[in-house]
Chain A
Amino acid sequence: MTAVLYDIPGPKARARNLGLGGLGTVLIVAALGYIVYRFIVTGQFSGKRWGWIEYVAIQKLLLGALLNTLQAFALGAVLALVFGALFAACRLSDHRWVARPATVVVEFFRAVPLVVMIFIFYFGLPPATGIVVSTYWAVVLGLMLYNGAVLAEIFRSGVLSLPKGQSEAAYALGLRKTQLMTNVLLPQAIRAMLPTIISQLVVLLKDSALGFLIGYPELLFAARTLGSQAQFDFPIIPVAIVVAAIYIAMCLLLSAFANYLERRTRRSPKRADINPAGKAQAEGHVLEAQAQGGGGVV
């Protein structure tokens, strides 16, 4: 569509596009150049500020922080998938006493900000109930509840977007509801929703950075600690650049994997005729969760 919005440029349009392109380049280079200039002027690229990279202890610190991030991500992802599958199954149930509470729970955990949930686990529970929650578990539980709720919605949209003929044929063959779910609907739904689910896992990875706010020793926390070292002249910007590069690389890898899966399912003959509205709704949920970065958008 975007290629149809404008005609093949004639001489005047070409000149105008070149002019706009030139102007745009100048503005962008000027802005970036100013930022780099400020970096240089305040000595962000001086050797002293980057000396910390050479120390093995600091490299180990950063690797340990990366490991912590990945640990929180891994456990959070597994728990969120389980939680999501469980609550999707509950919401899809025919028994109202199962479906209604499940809906309330899922909607509640989607509405409360992830930060508030993590604070409740870390700051709220210990004084009130005496249960001491470590920073790791506060982060993991918060991630599980929020992303689990969004994943429940994704699974549910996936199952609902399958053609009705699938369930009708299964009932005609005498399958019960549980058998229908596990043997017919869920495999197809998961295959159809896999890119969306991976995108939600990218959101989970970004959300793990919230551990910084309660002192969980993940990458941002390590960046803050390193950045306040006077012996390296407070290298907060170099450390922030390195940590940002690590985060962006990890998320880009996961997103690329999701894109690859999307392209593969589009070409695969095994995929069911997914109702596009249902799929779009599920993608809407993921965009919302992704926007809430750090917390997510659909």
Chain B
Amino acid sequence: MNVLLNNMSLFTTGFLGTIKLFVVSLIGSLIGGTLLAAMRVSPVPVLRTVGSGYVNIVRNTPLTLVLFFFAFAYPRLDIVDLSFFTRACIALIAYTSAFVCEVVRSGINTVPVGQAEASRALGFTFNQTLSQVVMPQAIRAVVPPLTSIQIALLKNTTIAAGFSVVEAGGIYSTLSERGYNVLVGLLWVAVGFLILVTPLTVLQRRLERQWSVAR
């Protein structure tokens, strides 16, 4: 208990860093993922190939490797100098967008083909079909897995701690410097993540039950 109370500021800065990383990466990955999904679904072959290639490669890369690249290799390229935080955000966004893209695409595929055929028969253009007919129905299939991915993103932000970003995963090192019991500190960090993750998980389960779609 002492470990938590005496180091309250440390814990709060750490978890604030986690939440900042999470929110920025959440918004970025949603935008990036939707863009990638649009590329994969579009009638232009070049965009389709690039989209699929990107998604397939990123889905088979460890996130640690992506963060490793941005933390160690990127500064050597002498492009714009970015803070650790920004680089971690970019890495997380680049990684999570691939998964968001897959979820959005499979969500679009759950909408019965007849819907798109009917809207084509009525003369809707590609954009109208997507925005007026398909996407509103796809939302049901997209949101529960999307919540799962964002929960995973929240847990992934801890990896950034290994690369000098101020967030919850790095609390233990300061604690050990100050001479506190690292095990208890880490258990408090685990409890903190439980508190952050459980509401999202409950939300995801409820959405899954209410909106479950036979695929």
B-binding residues in A (CB < 8 A): 1-2, 4-7, 9, 13, 17, 20-21, 24-25, 28, 35, 38-39, 41-42, 44, 107-108, 111-117, 119-120, 123-125, 127-129, 202, 206-207, 209-210, 212-213, 220, 223-224, 227, 234, 236-237, 240, 243-244, 247-248, 251-252, 255, 276-277, 280-281, 284-285, 287-298
Taking A1-B111, A298-B148 as known contacts, 17 extra A-B pairs with beta carbons closer than 8 A to each other, sorted by chain A number, are A1-B113, A2-B105, A4-B120, A5-B129, A13-B43, A24-B50, A38-B77, A115-B158, A115-B159, A120-B183, A127-B181, A220-B62, A255-B59, A255-B60, A284-B145, A291-B96, A292-B152
| Contact (A1, B109) CB under 8 Å given A248-B57, A296-B152 | yes
With CB as the reference atom, state the residue of chain A lying closest to B95. A293
Taking a contact as CB atoms under 8 Å apart, the answer to whether A206 and B61 are in contact is yes
Supposing A4-B113, A42-B76, A287-B103 touch, asked if A220 and B50 sit within 8 A by C-beta, the answer is no
Q: How far is the CA of A38 from the CA of B78 in the complex (A)?
A: 8
**B183 x A294 contact (CB < 8 A):** no
Footprint of A on B, CB under 8 Å?
Answer: 40-47, 50, 56-57, 59-65, 67-69, 72-73, 76-79, 95-96, 99, 102-103, 105, 108-109, 111, 113, 116-117, 120, 126, 129-130, 134, 144-145, 148-149, 151-153, 155-156, 158-159, 161-162, 168-169, 172, 176, 181-187, 189-190, 193-194, 197-198, 201, 208, 212-215
Q: How far is the CA of A290 from the CA of B99 in the complex (A)?
A: 8
Question: With A108-B194, A115-B169, A116-B169 in contact, is A247–B61 under 8 Å at CB?
Answer: yes
User: Which chain A positions have C-beta within 8 A of B130?
Assistant: 5
**Residues of B close to A117: CB separation below 8 A:** 190
Q: How far is the CB of B49 from chain A (nearest CB, A)?
A: 10
B148 touches A297 (CB 8 A): yes
| A292, B155: Cβ atoms closer than 8 Å | yes
Interfacial chain B residues near A20, Cβ < 8 Å:
42, 44, 47
Whether B149 and A39, one on each chain, are in contact in the complex, defined by CB atoms closer than 8 angstroms, is no
Alpha-carbon gap, A6 to B76, bound state (A): 45
- Give bound CA distance, A68 to B151, whole Å: 30
Report Cα–Cα, A17/B48, bound state, in Å: 12
Q: Is there contact, CB below 8 Å, between B64 and A210?
A: yes
Q: How far is the CB of B131 from chain A (nearest CB, A)?
A: 11
**Are A288 and B68 neighbours in the complex by a CB distance under 8 Å?**
no
Residue with the greatest number of chain B CB neighbours at <10 A, chosen from A21, A24, A116 = A116
Are B65 and A243 within 8 A (Cβ)?
Answer: yes
**Min distance, Cβ A95 to any Cβ of chain B, angstroms:** 24
Q: With A2-B41, A280-B215 in contact, do A287 and B46 touch (Cβ < 8 Å)?
A: no
CA distance A24 to B148 in the complex (A): 31
22 contacts between A and B (CB under 8 A): A6-B120, A17-B44, A20-B47, A24-B44, A28-B46, A35-B77, A111-B193, A115-B161, A120-B183, A120-B186, A124-B186, A202-B60, A212-B64, A227-B72, A244-B69, A247-B62, A255-B60, A276-B215, A293-B61, A294-B62, A295-B152, A297-B152
Contact A237 B183 (CB under 8 A): no
Contacts of B214 in A (CB 8 A): 276-277, 280
B108's nearest neighbour on chain A, judged by CB, is: A1
Q: Is B63 within 8 A of A295, CB to CB?
A: yes
> In the complex, A248→B67 CA distance in Å?
15
Q: Which chain B positions have C-beta within 8 A of A4? A: 113, 116-117, 120
- Given the known inter-chain contacts A237-B76, A291-B153, please indicate yes or no for A128 contacting B183, CB distance below 8 A: yes
A213 proximity list for chain B (CB < 8 A): 64, 159, 161-162
Which of these, B78, B103, B159, contacts A294 with CB under 8 Å? Answer: B159
B183 near A220 with CB under 8 A, answer no
Most B Cβ at <10 Å: residue of A4, A119, A128, A129:
A119
A143, B123: Cα distance in complex, Å: 53
Taking a contact as CB atoms under 8 Å apart, the answer to whether A6 and B126 are in contact is yes
Known: A4-B113, A108-B194, A288-B149. A240 touches B183 (CB 8 A): no
Question: Given that A24-B50, A28-B50, A128-B183 are known contacts, is A209 also in contact with B116, CB under 8 Å in the complex?
Answer: no
Residues in B neighbouring A210, C-beta threshold 8 A: 62, 64, 159
Given contacts A5-B129, A240-B72, A295-B159, contact A24 B62 (CB under 8 A): no
B60: which A residues are within 8 A, CB to CB?
202, 206, 247-248, 251-252, 255
Partner of A236, one of B72, B78, B190, B198: B72
Least Cβ–Cβ distance between A157 and chain B, in angstroms: 12
